[in-house]
Structure 1
Amino acid sequence: MRYEEPCDKPIPRPPAQMPHTLEVLKIERPDQFREILRVTLHTFDKLREKIEHDPVFFNNSNNAQIPVKEQLAIALYRFGHDGNAASQVSVGRWAGAGKGSPALHTKHIMTAILRQSFMSEAVQMPTAEEKSKAKAWVEAHSCRAWRHGWIFVDGTLIPLFDRPHWYGESYFDRKCNYSLNIQVCCCLTDL
């Protein structure tokens, strides 16, 4: 009785932002392209080039998959956002896709990236010369006893959607989010 027009009108779907990112920003504003997808234009194109012929992107269905560059953009957008911005609905809205599509496209991208053929080319151990240079640097700038050892350490924060029920305050990080702090160590020695 209070409204002049009925409230049950559907809200029109906003235009997708992904085509603008892939077609306009990629060419005219690569800095904004990088800000949105968290990779440079060169990295995006090389990654797409390396995975586009993977069998996961082909099917025998009457409904063809969306192009690999769009699936890659969706996955990278998800990886670069957290909280509500990374929800299925938000990513789907950004991409102009359904709310379940981002999970499927991310699965396709990760399947292609984690294949042995891609991993063997993308992840390589250092050569003997590179190892030797690094050992000399460690000996000159750090503890000499560490010269014959190798340790790789990397850490990252994995954002959580909400405060964990048990000991939630322990998960509050320096960036004022709830997250898991993951650290990976790999130790190699060749005495």
Structure 2
Amino acid sequence: MLDRIRNLWQEHLQAISQSRYLQSFYRPPAPSTSDLVARLRYYEKWDLRRWHHWMRMPPYCFDDMLRSIEHNPVFHNNSSRPQMEVERQLAIWIIQAGRYGPGACSIEIAEWTGVSIGTVYNCSRRCMIALMSCHDDAFAPDETQRPGAKKLAEEKSRTPEWGGGILAADGTPVKVFVRPGWYGSDFYGKDKIYAIQLTASHLNNSICTCSNSLSSAHHMGTHPSHP
């Protein structure tokens, strides 16, 4: 049996050597860790897995975001010392935004990106301001999709009274005194408390409030709106 396997292996290697041109894969050395942008672009070309590990998004998405905010006034000042390039500021903020818990603290991000803690804060603040200014362009209402979106929201919430609403907002959980007797476990959320989620939907002539937990609507009331 071993001789047969060895012969098959030799035949397989011979077939490869006769039909393929074997060439070693060349990968240039990675840039220094002090140059964040150069290292990320290196990952984009040679190690896409690491790019996704740090950026949590495809490269084209990062480039689209960069083009949308790079000319925002928040990245310019009247000082003789210009700000850090926008590409690097956006990369620092995305790296922090893609982390959770201790990994998102400014000290960790500052050490990996090679900047100070204050720079991490400033980059995050500027990028969020610039991205919020693109809200109307990114979320422009599409009248052709509005009826389908209303129907989907009505089906998921199981509250047809929301059909004429124009906006829904999920507010702060309202803590209850004790665990509810009915569906008690449904009221226990990530904050480790028993609470009722208060959601408000503004209708044309009234405000509809719905206190629910997860996807179950437990109480609902409609109140006249005041001018």
TM-score range, shorter chain: 0.5 to 0.7
Change (3 A) 1:130 1:64: same
User: Where does the alignment leave 5 or more consecutive residues of structure 1 unmatched?
Assistant: 1-13, 156-170
From 100, 103, 119, the equivalent of 1:82 is 100
Q: CA RMSD in A?
A: 3.7
Query: Are 1:105 and 2:105 counterparts?
Result: no
Deviation of the 1:186 alpha carbon: 6.0
2:136 corresponding residue in structure 1: 120
Deviation of the 1:185 alpha carbon: 4.9
Deviation of the 1:189 alpha carbon: 4.8
Task: Give the SS at the match of 1:27.
Answer: helix
Percent identity reads 24
1:29 corresponding residue in structure 2: 47
2:11 corresponding residue in structure 1: none
**Amino acid paired to 2:140:** Q
**Amino acid paired to 1:124:** A
Structure-2 separation of matches of 1:99 and 1:141: 43
User: Where does the alignment leave 5 or more consecutive residues of structure 2 unmatched?
Assistant: 1-31, 172-187, 206-227
Deviation of the 1:142 alpha carbon: 8.9
Query: Are 1:129 and 2:147 counterparts?
Result: no
**Amino acid paired to 2:59:** L
Structure-2 separation of matches of 1:46 and 1:33: 16
Change (3 A) 1:124 1:185: farther
Change (3 A) 1:69 1:129: same
- How many pairs does the alignment contain? 154
Deviation of the 1:46 alpha carbon: 0.7
Deviation string 1:120-177 (CA, Å, 9 cap, x unpaired) is 212223x23212234566789996946834575779xxxxxxxxxxxxxxx9949xxx
More displaced stretch, 14-23 vs 51-60: 14-23
Structure showing greater Rg: 2
Change (3 A) 1:61 1:143: closer
Change (3 A) 1:134 1:15: closer
